[in-house]
Amino acid sequence: MKYYILFGPPGAGKGTHAGAIAEKHNLKHISTGELLRAEIAAGTELGSKAKAIIAAGGLVPDEVVEGMIENAFNTISGVDGFLLDGFPRTLPQADALGKIIAARGEELTGVVSIMIPDEVIRERIAHRASVEGRADDASDAVISHRIDTYHAQTEPLIDYYKAAGKYHEVCGYPGSIEEVRDRVLALVDEL
Ligand code: AMP
């Protein structure tokens, strides 16, 4: 099985490009953000716990998302691998993912990182708010908290995966959606 991490700050275009990568390589796209939003929509206990954290732009506890990933790996079949989007987001999550994959006797294929400058993060999120209506895209304070959370907790993963020789990056800006998609697809083809 292939295990790809689609990495990047909020608004980099992970969700936009995940479908094309997954389709081309027969991967299951797993977005922890989407799974959490589905729990909220379904009114589950987990969803009600996650709702306030997501609305404030914070991170839900590591164990919650780690459990979702493990569950997905154990229940999804008929694909050649997984494309993780929005996970891992902290160093403990990255360690947990390494252990989960190792326990399956396999290894991480690579990190595909889409990088955009901070100014562009805000523009992209403002645009997405008008299209998707996500609650956590609506307020400047929440967006700022998500950007701060990204820098403090998620960005250290870049050095973590560089040290492991697994980190690969494309520019998510400038360029049209099609141009960025071609860059991302070309990178994944090489891994
Ligand atoms: P996303 O759709 O990836 O932007 O995720 C939306 C929100 O869900 C994030 O701002 C977090 O509150 C929460 N979330 C998604 N993935 C994770 C994760 N791996 N760890 C913790 N919280 C997460």
pLDDT in tens, the chain (191 residues): 999 999 999 999 999 999 999 999 999 999 999 999 999 999 999 999 999 999 999 999 999 999 999 999 999 999 999 999 999 999 999 999 999 999 999 999 999 999 999 899 999 999 999 999 888 898 899 999 999 999 999 999 999 999 999 999 999 999 999 999 999 999 999 99
Before 88, cis peptide (omega within 30)?
Answer: yes
Mutation test residue for ligand 1: of 31, 54, 132, 157, the one with most atoms within 8 Å of CB: 54
Q: Position of tokens 């929509």?
A: 41
Residues with CB under 6 A from ligand 1: 10, 31-33, 36, 53-54, 57-60, 65, 86-87, 89, 93, 136, 146
The number of beta carbons lying within 10 Å of the beta carbon of residue 125 is: 21
Q: What are the structure tokens assigned to 45, written together? A: 């206990």
- CA-CA distance, 14 to 18, in Å (whole number)? 6
Q: What are the structure tokens assigned to 125, written together? A: 């999120």
CA distances to 78, 84, 107, 130, 165 from 104, in Å = 16, 16, 8, 41, 20
Q: Position of tokens 């989960």?
A: 100
Full-model pTM: 0.96
For the chain, how many helices (H) and strands (E)?
9, 5
pLDDT at 62: 98
Q: What's the gap in Å between 33 CA and the centre of ligand 1?
A: 5
Nearest CA to ligand 1 atom 15: 33
What radius of gyration do the chain's Cα atoms show? Answer: 16
